[in-house]
């Protein structure tokens, strides 16, 4: 096929080629919102690894945080976001988020998004670390799915937008230091080279790098890994948020049990049936996620930890239909039973380093949503700010892409680091390799860290690199990307010799006086304010 590990002249390569104005990798909330805007300025191709409904957006239960109550509400939302981020929030980015949020949510309402209402008014609830009720929901616990469907309905009415499902990004194309497109693997195993004036990475997070995660199987960090291999800076990769309450039962998936359960009054109780959050934070069950996750981990050393809603006088099957349906499969009921929980990898605060307009360190490359790091979440994301982030910064990145629109003509380009197609590893071997990587990350680079464990992870990841699955199957590409993500997380975590937000080191339990962001680029780690 003409490809190698070291690069390729695509003028001589096999596979189809095409040109668009804008290429978007990822079809969650950030990618779709950007596509709507970009269609006003040119042709848009959106790719997604599976069907359109399979994204972190569609799995988001808890809701979307937005300050719909005027200037005072906006100001409080800003302060709550900054406080949750444990000293590391980029205040400029947070201000953009909360100030633009109401406008972007109003667009969703105009496009037909059906948020829950009470007596005709939008129903607002509260979640952890919010100072007031400002969380919108749809169908109780299907907010992300409702937003995704409303965006899709709108996107499908726009002729300039084309969507390719079952398409995997392999790597970005560079010319003279500029990103000019990407190579893709279609659902039938065919290679496609797409040239574009601008590429937006909106591919979501990387929860599958951990053995325990609330994320769907598609979240293998592809876009972040592609950008890093192309030479883009990534930032704050050590800050992975572990959701405190994932379902915990032998053989069962780590199904997310939304923050909204605690917002409705759920208690956390230990194996002795005692509430324990008073020992860890004055906000009790509504403390920031990192605090609650570590508290559950500590209490769980002596036996199971449970969510207890037996005292809540509501029909919880009606309030949380999706969660209730899942629990019913395990013969559990929120109104009747204690629900076993444990933390699981949930959300990456770090990602491709961008400004508040989505511009990365590489010309022609932009990023938005969970794949990006504006610093808006700092060291610990405020509950339900993620869907809002996708809306706001998806639109902002589109504005920047349009403003920078130049339509260059690509010539000789290079593939940054594609897995070699020479030989192919059997699927079962790939799965074993990936599971070993995920186990290493959970054991040594998870919720609680120290130098010995992180260094053990670094050695194990290096050893796994020597046996990297080969070939151009989707799963081999995902293995390659997960290895890149694991390497960046561990390198950044080793370098951060403090505890802050979601990054907790037993050997450095205190927080540094100066808050600094980590930056990793071309294998070199640095820190900056």
What amino acid positions are annotated as catalytic residues?
289
Q: Quote the CA–CA distance of 489 and 520 in Å, as a whole number.
A: 10
- 218: buried, middle or exposed (CB in 10 Å: 19+, 13-18, 0-12)? buried
Token reading at 289: 């996620």
Q: Which residue has the tokens 């995902």?
A: 478
What residues contact 482, with CB distance under 8 A and at least 6 apart?
206, 208, 209, 220, 221, 225, 434, 437, 438
Q: How far is CA 55 from the centre of its chain?
A: 10
Q: Output b/e per residue, 426-438; b: 16+ Cβ within 10 A.
A: eeeebeebbeebb
Q: How far is CA 391 from the centre of its chain?
A: 14
Q: Give the up-direction half-sphere exposure of residue 1: CA atoms within 13 A in the CB hemisphere.
A: 18
What residues contact 9, with CB distance under 8 A and at least 6 apart?
2, 412, 413, 414
How many CB atoms sit inside 10 A of residue 121's CB?
A: 7
Query: What are the distances in angstroms from CA 413 to CA 10, 174, 181, 368?
Result: 6, 5, 9, 25
What residues contact 3, with CB distance under 8 A and at least 6 apart?
13, 415, 418, 420, 421, 472
The strands making up 135-136's β-sheet, listed across from edge to edge, are: 64-65, 135-136, 124-125
For residue 191, which phi and psi values (nearest 5 degrees)? -90, 140
């Amino acid at each position: 096929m003409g490809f190698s590990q070291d690069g390729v002249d695509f003028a001589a390569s096999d596979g189809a080629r095409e040109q668009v104005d804008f290429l978007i990798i990822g079809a969650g909330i950030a990618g779709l919102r950007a596509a709507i805007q970009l269609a006003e300025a040119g042709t848009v191709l959106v790719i997604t690894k599976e069907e359109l409904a399979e994204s972190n957006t569609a799995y988001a239960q808890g809701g979307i945080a937005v300050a719909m109550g005027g200037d005072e509400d906006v100001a409080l939302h800003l302060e709550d976001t900054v406080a949750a981020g444990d000293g590391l929030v980029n205040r400029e980015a947070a201000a953009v988020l909360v100030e633009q949020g109401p406008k972007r949510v109003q667009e969703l309402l105009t496009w037909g998004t059906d948020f829950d209402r009470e007596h005709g008014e939008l129903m607002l609830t509260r979640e952890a670390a919010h100072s007031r009720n400002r969380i919108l929901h749809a169908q109780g616990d299907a907010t992300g799915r409702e937003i995704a469907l409303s965006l899709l309905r709108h996107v499908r009415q726009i002729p300039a937008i084309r969507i390719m499902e079952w398409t995997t990004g392999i790597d970005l194309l560079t010319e003279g230091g500029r990103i000019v497109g990407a190579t893709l693997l279609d659902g039938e195993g065919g290679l496609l080279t797409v040239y574009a004036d601008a590429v937006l990475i909106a591919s979501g997070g990387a929860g599958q790098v951990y053995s325990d995660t609330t994320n769907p199987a598609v979240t293998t960090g592809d876009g972040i890994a592609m950008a890093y291999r192309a030479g883009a800076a990534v930032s704050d990769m050590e800050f992975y948020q572990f959701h405190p309450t994932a379902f915990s039962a032998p053989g069962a998936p780590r199904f997310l049990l939304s923050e909204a359960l605690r917002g409705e009054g759920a208690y956390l109780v230990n194996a002795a049936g005692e509430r324990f959050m008073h020992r860890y934070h004055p906000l009790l069950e509504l403390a920031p996620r990192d605090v609650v996750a570590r508290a559950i981990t500590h209490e769980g050393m002596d036996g199971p930890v449970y969510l207890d809603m037996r005292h809540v006088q509501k029909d919880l099957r009606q309030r949380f239909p999706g969660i209730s349906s899942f629990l019913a499969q395990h013969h559990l009921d929120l109104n009747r039973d204690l629900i076993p929980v444990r933390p699981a990898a949930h959300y990456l605060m770090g990602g491709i380093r961008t400004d508040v307009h989505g511009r990365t360190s590489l010309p022609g490359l932009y990023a938005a949503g969970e794949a990006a790091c504006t610093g808006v979440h700092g060291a610990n994301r405020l509950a339900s700010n993620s869907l809002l982030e996708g809306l706001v910064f998806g639109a902002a990145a589109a504005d920047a892409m349009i403003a920078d629109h130049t339509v260059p003509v690509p010539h000789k380009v290079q593939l940054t680091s594609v897995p070699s197609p020479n030989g192919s590893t059997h699927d079962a071997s790939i799965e074993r390799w990936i599971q070993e990587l995920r186990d290493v990350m959970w054991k040594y680079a998870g919720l609680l860290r120290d130098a010995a464990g992180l260094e053990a992870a670094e050695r194990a990841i290096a050893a796994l690199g020597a046996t990297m699955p080969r070939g151009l199957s989707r799963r081999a590409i995902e293995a390659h990307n997960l290895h890149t993500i694991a390497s960046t997380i561990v390198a950044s975590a080793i370098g951060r010799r403090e505890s802050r937000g979601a990054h907790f080191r037993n050997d450095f339990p205190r927080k540094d006086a100066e808050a600094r962001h980590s930056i990793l680029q071309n294998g070199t780690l640095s820190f900056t304010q």
